[in-house]
Each structure stands twice: as C-alpha cells, then as structure tokens.
Amino acid sequence: MRGLTTKKMKVTIDNIPVEVEDGTTILQAARKIGGKVVPPAMCYYSKLKGSGGKCRTCLVKVSQGSAKDPRPMPKLVASCSTPVQDGMVVQNLTSPEVVEARKGIVEFLLLNHPLDCPVCDQAGECDLQDLSFGYGMEETATEDDRREFPMTDIGENIKLHMNRCILCYRCVYAADQLTDKRLHGVLYRGDVSEIGTFIRNAVTNEFSGNMIDVCPVGALTDKTFRFKSRVWFLKPMNAHRECARCAGKTVAWMFGNEIYRVTGRKDQFGEVEEFICNECRFEKKDAGDWVIEGPRHISRQSVISANHYEEMTEPSVIDPIAGKMEKDE
Ligand code: SF4
Ligand code: FES
C-alpha cells in the first residue's frame, strides 16, 4: 500500500550500528554488516524454512535488550532464531563470554566427530574444520569412545558417513522442501540419533544431491567425486547450461579440461544461491555439456585459493572518510 513504510530497527553488533526490518534475526542483521561480526552457523540455512536452533554455534550476548528495556538478556541467545529489537546491543566477538561458550560448543560438536580431515572429501570447504581452527582445543577433555556407524549408500550417488554427522538437520529440511517425498530423516533420539532411511531406502529424488551441498561437514558426500581429488587441486569455474529442471547455474570443479564434480554456487555465507538438479550435478561431467563462464571468486583465506587466478576486478578502494584500505575478502 502506498505510503506504508516498514519500521526499521536500529541494532548495534560489536559496536557497529545497522538498520534492519522488523522481524529480522540478529544473525541476519550481522550478515548485513558482514565480515567478522557474523556469528558462525552450522545448522541455520536461510533458504531452508525451519532450520536453525540446533547447534548453538551462533550464540551471542545481548547486552541491551532494546531502547525501551535496556536490561541485558540473562543468557547467551541463539542469534539465528532471536529477532532484533529497536535499540538492541549485541556482542559477538567483543564478548569473551561468547568466545568461551563457542569453544565449549565446538568441543561438543567434535565429541563424536572423527579427525579424518586428511581423507575426508569435505576438507578445505568444511564449516566444522573452519570452526575448529578458530575455536577448537588442541586436546580433547574426554576419554569416551566415539560413536561409530558403518558407512552406507543412500541412493546411487550419495554416501552417508554417519560418524561425521553433527545432526544439524539441514539435509532433512532440504529433502523435505526440495523433493517430492522425503525418504530419510533422523532416526532414534538422544545419543543414539542417526541420519538414516527407513529400512535402507534409496534416496532417488531429482533434487536429493542438494543434501550434499547443505551438509556442513563431510557426512554426505558425492559418490561420483569421492577420493578423486582434493578440492584445492581443482579450479572452481562458474558454468551454466540449459536445464529443464533447474536454473542450470553451477560450479564446475575442473582439473585441466576435465570436470571432476559439479556443485551449486555458494554465497559468502556458504549457502547455495540456487539449488541444482541431480542431472546437472551427477550426469553432466563433460566440459562440452557446459558454458564455462570463468573462474569463481575464492576468498584468499581459503585453502582453495592457492594457485587460483581470477580476472582482474576493480582495484581496492580507499575509503576517504576512514582513510583505510577496504580489503578484498
Ligand atoms: S548428514 Fe550432514 S546435513 Fe544431515 S544432519 Fe548430518 S551433518 Fe547435518
Ligand atoms: S546456527 Fe543458530 S543454533 Fe545453529
């Protein structure tokens, strides 16, 4: 309706102010600022309805609830599911309490996660690897045995390595929301919970491959790529093709002229921009199937950026006010 404006909320996160729409969560407000202010998210995925609230990696401190009620919130809150209030003051990295809590969360996430990064296909693009690098301890404080499961094939193209699963539920939401019929889920409860298909079903939906892209660890891997290469030896190229099922916009991971694997394109928060179909992902491995657009931008902090050359873009800009160099991410 003309003249109707949505109320803006002023929030401050790690001393940086930002204005967002009413109903925005703290995490989304932080993403609007970008950079180190953004709390890590292992279970929340903006494209999957209902996701979030499971892993607690996104905990932040609310040191002022709102302009009307400036009292701090009594406990750390999950930023992915807490909406902002006008005048709210939030601390992420500026709070030693948050950093300590996050170390504890990482320890919990690693409680059953094997240290098999040297042989895991997700290494180099694993959210848990990054999180452990930032907050992990050198030694474990527990002596208990890790949970162990046999490796299973869930369908023709996906391998489930349950030992690595952190039960974030992202793949369950992806299957629920992208495919006609979800064939897998979290079976059992408590410390015996596991991702599985009821009576060892095969997951065969046309969009099931997206479960691999949303998995933050190496629990779901692409069987057509397993053990073929390390991601940092490949060149991620933006590629597209005419596809009747999806937008056909992908990343072709190439070695020379060969395509080793095809994935969705991920944004700076590690989320797929547009979900792709199984045909594009698993069946189109010939360079002739694709229009190769050019190298993808890879953050220079990523191991994948080694020996990765991109076309020259705009040079770094000098911010005339702050007088500081805006660094390329
Ligand atoms: S298999 Fe991956 S996406 Fe699914 S619940 Fe486990 S960690 Fe999450
Ligand atoms: S990302 Fe917020 S609880 Fe997991």
Alpha-carbon dihedral 109, 111, 112, 116, rounded to 10 degrees: 80
- For the ranges 3-17, 115-129, 261-275, the lowest mean pLDDT is seen at 3-17
**CB 55 less than 6 A from any atom of ligand 2:** yes
| Contact indicator for 53, 80 with CB cutoff of 8 Å | yes
In terms of domains, do 163 and 182 share one? yes
The answer to whether position 199 is within a domain reads yes
Residues 50 and 46: their CA atoms lie apart, in Å, by 9
In terms of domains, do 209 and 243 share one? no
223's tokens: 């069987």
Strand 158-160 to 77-78 pairing: unpaired
Give the residue from 47, 79, 106 where a domain finishes. Answer: 106
| Nearest ligand atom owner, CA of 40 | 2
In terms of domains, do 124 and 218 share one? yes
* Pocket perturbation via mutation, ligand 1, pick of 45, 154, 220 by most ligand atoms within 8 A of CB: 220
Distances (CA, A) of 207 to 70, 126, 210, 264, 323: 46, 22, 6, 11, 48
Q: Which residues of 101-134 are buried (b: 16+ CB within 10 A; e: fewer)?
A: bbeebbbebbebbeeebeebbbbbbbbbbbbbee
Residues 325 and 195: their CA atoms lie apart, in Å, by 46
For residue 88, what is the enclosing H or E element?
strand 88-91
Q: What is the pTM of this model?
A: 0.86
Cα–ligand 2 centroid distance for 62 (angstroms)? 16
Confidence class for position 328, pLDDT limits 50, 70, 90: very low
Total domains in the fold of the chain? 3
pLDDT tens, position by position, 1-48: 455 667 899 999 999 999 999 999 999 999 999 999 999 999 999 999
Which residues form the domain of 267? 231-305
